[in-house]
Amino acid sequence: MSLPENIGKFVSRLINTVKSESADWQKAHQSDLGRLKEEKVLAEAELKQRLELMEIRFAQECKRARLEEERQTEHFSEFLASIDEMKASMLEYYGSMPKPIALMIHHQAAELLREAWHNPDARERLQKQTRFTSLMLTITEDLSELGRDGGPKALPEKTIAFIQNKLE
Amino acid sequence: MPHSFSEISLIYVSFSVLVLYAPAVLCALGLAYFLYRRHSRLERRQQQHQRIRHAIADKGLGKRKRMLLAVQRRNIRELAKLVRCQLKEHERNLTPYQHQRASSFIERAVTTVDFERLYTLHALFAANAEKQVSPAVEAFFEHTR
């Protein structure tokens, strides 16, 4: 008998042995295999259910996050509009005030707003929010005092003092 | 029949390339598969969700930053317009180099929203008499270099 024939027989014998061993093993552990199969089906069903619930929760969370972002952007645009409005009011009510001063106040307010919203440090953000609110209140105070205390003023003195205090 | 040198070298080179690179490619594939299977399906979905959440937040933040920049640019353009007028008025008192430098500074300040320095230039033009403008502008650019 030639060498390739020997090898062929050896391989076929080996395959037959493995097959019969596997069949014997499966016969001996049939009950365990059945149980494992059932457990697998159950686990797959459970996983599918958990994934479905997760998908619903994630979809809701994403929707909430989008709405929250839209709300924040809307608030932010309102603040930006109030800064522009404040500049227009100042130029209107303080007739003799040089325009660059109004532009400087606008710039300071915008910078404070940026810090109040975009600073990564939460404490800094809070401080700047307070400062931004104080600045806007000071501007409102200056505007409301116009004409009340003995005639019109040339400049919004309290606002300028507030900004100078910040710059120093 | 003996093989030529080029034929032998071709076989050896391609074989050595295969021997060297095939294990590396297999290792990389194995590592990628390991990293992929390291997390369960639930964990992978959770991570994907976190990425989506961050993307939503980043998009909102980006939009707000662009809105703020637009408002600041509009404001600084108004100042730039005033400073350009001042520059025109002082054109005779400045050297051509200073004039060119000042006008390019104005453009740059608008682009980078450098309000403080543009305001300083405006104050400088406003505060100095005709003869004093040139040295003041020189000193300004010395400081802002």
* Chain B residues within 8 A of A104 when measuring between CB atoms: 115, 119
| Inter-chain residue contact B68 with A80, CB threshold 8 Å | yes
Taking CA atoms, what residue in A is nearest to B70? A80
Domain count, chain B: 2
The per-residue DSSP string of B36-89 comes to HHHS-HHHHHHHHHHHHHHHHHHHHHHHHHHHHHHHHHHHHHHHHHHHHHHHHH
Chain B residue with Cα closest to A85: B71
Domain hosting B113: range is: 39-144
Asked if residue A17 belongs to a domain, the reply is: no
Whether A24 maps to a domain, the answer reads: no
> Between chains, do B67 and A61 touch, taking CB under 8 Å as contact?
no
8 Å CB contact of B79 and A50:
no
Q: What is the pLDDT of residues B122-139, one digit of tens each?
A: 999 998 777 788 899 989
Same domain, B101 and B129: yes
Q: Domain containing A113: what range?
A: 30-167
Q: Same structural domain for residues B5 and B55?
A: no
Contact A69 B82 (CB under 8 A): no
Q: Give yes or no: residues B18 and B44 share one domain.
A: no
Q: Does one domain contain both B12 and B64? A: no
Q: Nearest C-alpha of chain B: how many angstroms from A51? A: 7
Report the pLDDT averaged over residues A110-114.
Answer: 95
Residues B8 and B32 in one domain: yes
pLDDT tens, position by position, B102-112: 999 999 999 99
CB atoms within 10 A of CB B101: 16
CB contact under 8 A, A54 and B71: no
* Residues B33, B44 within the same domain: no
B24 and B68: one domain? Answer: no
Residue A8, in any domain of the structure: no
Whether residues B28 and B54 fall in one domain: no
pLDDT band at A167 (very low <50, low <70, confident <90, very high): low
Q: Tell me the C-alpha distance between A86 and A99, whole Å.
A: 13
Does the ipTM exceed 0.90?
no
Q: Which residue shows structure tokens 């097959």?
A: A19
pLDDT, residue B13, reads 80
User: Do B70 and B134 lie in a common domain?
Assistant: yes
- Shared domain for B105 and B124, answered yes or no, is yes
- Determine, yes or no, domain membership for A4: no
Q: Chain B within 8 Å of A106 (Cβ-Cβ)?
A: yes
Residue A11 is assigned to a structural domain of this protein: no
Residue A44 within a domain = yes
Query: What percent of chain A has pLDDT above 90?
Result: 75
pLDDT at A151: 62
A43 to chain B: which residues are within 8 Å by CB? none
Inside any domain, residue A37: yes
Q: How many domains does chain A have?
A: 1
Cα-Cα end-to-end distance for chain B? 79
The pLDDT of residue B37 is above 90: no
- Per residue in A23-47, pLDDT (tens digit) is 999 999 999 999 999 999 999 999 9
Kindly state whether residues B60 and B74 are assigned to the same domain: yes
Burial tier of B78 (Cβ tally within 10 Å: 0-12, 13-18, 19+): middle
Q: Specify if A153 maps to a domain.
A: yes
Q: Contact at 8 Å (CB) between B113 and B73?
A: yes
Cβ neighbours of A107 in B, within 8 Å: 72, 75-76, 115, 119
B82 and B112 fall within a common domain: yes
Give residues 40 to 69 of B whose Cβ lies within 8 Å of A: 41-42, 45-46, 49, 52-53, 56-57, 59-61, 63-65, 67-68
- What is the C-alpha separation between A22 and A38, in angstroms, rounded? 21
Nearest-angstrom CA–CA distance, A25 and B120 = 90
